[in-house]
Amino acid sequence: MTVPLRLRGAYRRFRAYTEWNFAVQRRAHPGGALFLSGLGVDPELQGRGVGGALLEAGLAREPRADAVLLTNNPRNIGFYERHGFAVVREEPMPGGGPPTWAMVRQPGS
């Protein structure tokens, strides 16, 4: 899938962030894995199982693969732990950004 973006002057920062993001993923899980990204639920619908259903649907695409995700929100950690993920790394985002937690889930967790 291709997503058209107009980055203009932000291209270098976007590219640097993307490369850093992939490097964190590799440090968290050096082997092949399913990488999950971009899960979000409208705040008015949170707490109704929508996020869990979306997460499980993503995991079902490769049920025998380890899964890796990154989050910058400490409130998300418990949600992902309830779905079998465990924090394996915590790293500060470059440039003074928020911490990033890398989480991994083994198949069948």
Query: Would you report the helix, strand and coil content of the chain in percent, each value rounded to 5?
Result: 45, 20, 35
Question: pTM of the full predicted structure?
Answer: 0.83
**pLDDT value of residue 5:** 64
How far apart, in whole angstroms, are the C-alpha atoms of residue 44 and residue 65? Answer: 32
How far apart, in whole angstroms, are the C-alpha atoms of residue 74 and residue 54? Answer: 19
Q: Which fold has domain 8-105?
A: Aminopeptidase (3.40.630)
Q: How far is CA 64 from CA 44, 94, 97, 104, in A?
A: 33, 33, 34, 13
**pLDDT value of residue 100:** 93
Give every residue of the chain whose pLDDT is below 70, as ranges.
Answer: 1-5, 7
**pLDDT value of residue 3:** 57
Dig out the tokens for 106 from the structure: 């083994």
